[in-house]
């Protein structure tokens, strides 16, 4: 565990591949999770706290500050995670939802998202 000196809310922990990831201290919430909720889902800090009520508004703002200070590294983590998921899918094949969707499409049923 490595606590960031610039922010008393963030610590670096290694993931299963040994790559360092920024987490909110005392939680299982990654900075990239908060960033995704803000940037990709368009949620405000208040909405993020409503969705993750074990976090404080200060923690969410700290995660966002860390994200903006380390944006390129966090975006690279998203890309690495996408690559990991792609490798798993290649090894395991389609999951149950994907098989169901393909089956419905083959029968001509409409599939809603």
Q: pLDDT tens for residues 11-29? A: 999 987 788 999 999 999 9
Which domains are seen in the chain, by residue range? 1-71 (1.10.10), 79-108 (no CATH)
Q: For residue 64, which of 113, 10, 1, 4 has the smallest C-alpha distance? A: 10
Q: Give every CB contact of residue 1 below 8 A, 6+ residues apart in sequence.
A: 11, 12, 13
What is the rounded distance in angstroms from the CA atom of residue 38 to the CA atom of residue 87?
27
- In this prediction, residue 5 has a pLDDT band, given cuts at 50, 70 and 90, of very low
Q: What own/partner pairs with CB < 8 Å and gap ≥ 24 does 43-47 have?
A: none
- In this prediction, residue 111 has a pLDDT band, given cuts at 50, 70 and 90, of low
């Amino acid at each position: 565990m490595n606590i960031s000196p610039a922010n008393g809310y963030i610590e670096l922990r290694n993931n299963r591949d040994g790559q360092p990831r920024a987490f909110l201290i005392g939680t299982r919430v990654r900075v990239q999770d908060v960033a995704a909720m803000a940037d990709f889902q368009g949620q405000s800090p208040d909405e993020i706290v409503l969705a993750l009520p074990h976090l404080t508004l200060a923690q969410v703002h700290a995660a966002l500050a860390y994200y903006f200070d380390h944006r390129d590294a966090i975006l690279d983590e998203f890309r690495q995670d996408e690559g990991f998921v792609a490798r798993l899918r290649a090894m395991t094949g389609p999951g149950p939802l994907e098989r169901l969707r393909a089956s419905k499409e083959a029968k001509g049923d409409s599939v809603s998202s």
